[in-house]
Amino acid sequence: MRGLLGSLLVWLALPVLTAQADEQLLGYWYLEEGAPGFTIDDVHIGALYADGTILNLSSDGKEVSSYTSAEYSVEGDEITFIYPRGSDEEPERHPYRYELIDSDTLLYTDEAGDYENPEDAKTYYRRLPDNAHLTLALLGLAENGQLEEAELEVDSDFGERSVLVTTEDPFAQFILFSDRRQAFRGQINRNGVPVVSTVSRHLAAFRLGTAYPDEAFDEMIMIMQESIASAQKAAD
Amino acid sequence: MKNFVKFALTTCLAFAAMPVLADERFQGYWYDSTGSEEFDLSEIYLIESLGADGSLRGLDVNVDRANGFSGGHYEVSGDRIIITYPEDEGEFTLTYEFLDENRVVYRNEEEDFQAVFKRLPEDAYLSQALMRLVDTERPLQVSLGENPSIGSIIALVSLDNEEANFEIGMDKAAVYEGEMTQGGDVLLTALHDHLLMIRTNAEYPAEQFSEIVELLRAR
């Protein structure tokens, strides 16, 4: 899984692509519903990778969960989402016409469906902003198979949002504090090992439980930092 | 060294402010050891702060809650001490006897009362910190709990009748260091090796939090 992430970065960097063609499609897209502007409170994110895989991240304001449900392929201005079913069944295929309205807005139109109001056939996705550090961190953990559970709290003690993250290792829990208004800085060590770390200027991680292996926490911090940094790089 | 400085300091204060108050041995923090021989914050129910000026302040402890009080006083005369608690909680005339400089027995033979007060150990870091807050005479409420991530014991502190505004965590087995800020304001800081201070409530003004950090850090 980690290999996949590594190669993803290479994919993004190199212009050489497979038949998936449109590299502008690659990256993190969120479904814009309700008020404009991104928050993690109630959102669906689809991550489109160069190898045709998709990762989903959904939040209902209480829990953030990640799952893979489909793959995609592109031909011309048509994108097809392929949902695998049982091993002896043909996968479901859902084609849409896509259009990049600008580099940050993606429109899917369901031309096969029968809609009374043609607007209902349209779904708009927006590119995840590169300052959505909390979401980028969670996406990084999910890409590395580390996001087991994530409980979201709005208006937490240490910022706008906090998320209690349970990783693959059940002893390995930490809280992420997110604040896009002001910068975090510094670190608290316990016996020389970080227990509270600045992940990025908008994100701090607070390790829970002393049974949590030191290296495991360091590794999670690194995964999150890489994810945030690569989004930054892609935006620059 | 620390003890010496403290001793020298309290002695100076005693001579400067109130030479009449005879016995400077009383000054400092004492806990009622009736409930617990060795000091354990969750087992005891009273820590007192006896000031050089005859003032008496303290912390009432009830398992996982503690409340500061101030406005009491004490007076020593001969082998007797008169202790007056605030808010009409009573005036007690007792005899006292120092077993050593860290233990004093108070007795009232008529009422068959006896209590051994022990000096609050220097390494009761959390309680020492709370008593420093008691000495500010600001309304203080504390709820005590455990948080293995931050420290073995954690105190959620409310000052000035407000919502809980910060936490102090203690872990005697660990050494803490470092500081984390948010928008330049301190969010978490190692007070010293074994205490961590956390501005739990983001609404709590950073300047007030910093003042308290300075107060608790000062030796």
Angle between helices A214-235 and A133-143 (to 10 degrees): 120
ipTM: 0.76
Identify the pLDDT of residue A210.
Answer: 67
pLDDT, position A89: 86
Q: What's the rounded Cα separation, in Å, for the pair A138 and A205?
A: 12
Predicted confidence (pLDDT) at residue B5 exceeds the cutoff of 50: no
What integer pLDDT is reported at residue A213 of this predicted model?
A: 78
Mean pLDDT calculated for residue range B20-40: 82
Rounded to the nearest integer, the mean pLDDT of chain B is: 86
Residue in A159, A183, A187 closest to B178 by CB:
A187
pLDDT band for position B42 (cuts 50, 70, 90): confident
Q: Which CATH architecture has domain A2-127?
A: Beta Barrel (2.40)
Residue A28: name the closest of A6, A10, A7, A49 by CA.
A49
Residue B188 has its nearest CB partner, among A181, A196, A208, at A196
pLDDT tens-digit series, residues B62-108: 989 999 999 999 999 988 999 999 987 788 999 999 999 999 999 99
Instruction: With CA atoms as reference, report the closest residue to B55 among B120, B126, B136, B119.
Output: B136
Q: How confident is the model at residue B21 (pLDDT cuts 50, 70, 90)?
A: low
Q: What is the mean pLDDT of chain A?
A: 85
Instruction: List, for residues A193-230, the tens digit of each pLDDT value.
Output: 888 999 999 999 998 876 777 788 889 999 999 999 99
Q: Are B41 and B61 in contact (CB under 8 A)?
A: yes
Say how far apart CA B82 and CA A77 lie, in whole Å.
92
Name the burial class of residue B50, with classes exposed (0-12), middle (13-18) and buried (19+) by CB atoms within 10 angstroms of its CB: buried
In angstroms, the separation between the Cα of residue B90 and the nearest Cα of chain A is 41
Q: Which residues of A touch B (CB under 8 A)?
A: 157-159, 179, 181-192, 195-196, 198, 204, 206-210
- What's the pLDDT score for residue A15? 40
Q: What is the pLDDT of residue B210?
A: 93
Query: Which range is least confidently modeled, A105-109, B39-43, B77-81, B179-183?
Result: B39-43
pLDDT at B10 over 90: no
When comparing pLDDT for A84 and B157, which is higher?
A: B157
Q: Which helix (H) or strand (E) holds A5?
A: helix A2-13
Would you state the pLDDT for residue A21?
Answer: 57
* pLDDT of B63: 87
The pLDDT of residue A203 = 95
HEC-encoded secondary structure of A52-107 = CEEEEEEECCCEEEEECCCEEEEECCEEEEEECCCCCCCCEEEEEEEEEEECCEEE
Maximum alpha-carbon separation in chain B: 62
Give me the total of CB pairs closer than 8 Å, taking one residue from chain A and one from chain B: 65
Chain A interface includes B163 (CB < 8 A): no
Least confident of A219-228, B20-29, B35-44: B20-29
Task: Evaluate if residue B177 carries a pLDDT over 80.
Answer: yes
pLDDT given for residue B22 in this prediction = 54
pLDDT of residue B110: 84
DSSP B24: G
Question: Is B179 in contact with A188 (Cβ distance < 8 A)?
Answer: yes
A194 burial type by CB count under 10 A (0-12 exposed, 13-18 middle, 19+ buried): middle
pLDDT of residue B18 exceeding 70, the answer is: no
Q: Are B187 and B213 in contact (CB under 8 A)?
A: no
B196 touches chain A (CB under 8 A): yes
The pLDDT, as a whole number, for residue A18 is 45
Q: What is the CATH number of domain B20-119?
A: 2.40.128.280
Q: What is the mean pLDDT of residues B20-29?
A: 78
Q: Which among B114, B62, B67, B70 is positioned nearest to B92, based on CA atoms?
A: B114
Distance of CA A42 to the CA centre of its chain: 14
What is the model's pLDDT at position B7? 44
Residues in Cβ contact with A180 at an 8 Å cutoff, skipping those fewer than 6 apart? A131, A133, A160, A202
Q: Which two tokens stand for residue A137?
A: 């961190």
What is the residue type of B85?
Y
Residue of B nearest to A156 (CA): B202
Residues in A closer than 8 angstroms to B196, CB to CB, are 188
- The whole-angstrom distance between A128's CA and the closest CA on chain B is 24
Tokens in use for B130? 């709370």
**CB pair distance less than 8 Å for B149 and A210:** yes
Residue type, B39: F
Work out the percent of chain B whose per-residue pLDDT is above 90: 62
* Predicted pLDDT at A36: 75
Q: Residue B164 pLDDT more than 50? A: yes
Residue extents of the structural domains in chain A = 2-127, 133-235
Q: Are A174 and A207 in contact (CB under 8 A)?
A: yes
Burial track B174-198 (b if 16+ CB lie within 10 A, e otherwise): bebebbbbbeeebbbbbbeebbbbb
Residues of chain A contacting B180 with CB distance shorter than 8 Å: 184-188, 196, 198, 204
In A, which residues are within 8 Å of B171 by CB distance? 190
Parts of chain A with a pLDDT under 50: 1-20
Neighbouring CB atoms inside 10 A of A136's CB total: 27
Type of residue at A179: D
Distance CA A69, CA B141 (A): 52
Token pair 């702060």 is found at B49
Residue B179 contacts residue B188 (beta carbons within 8 Å)? yes
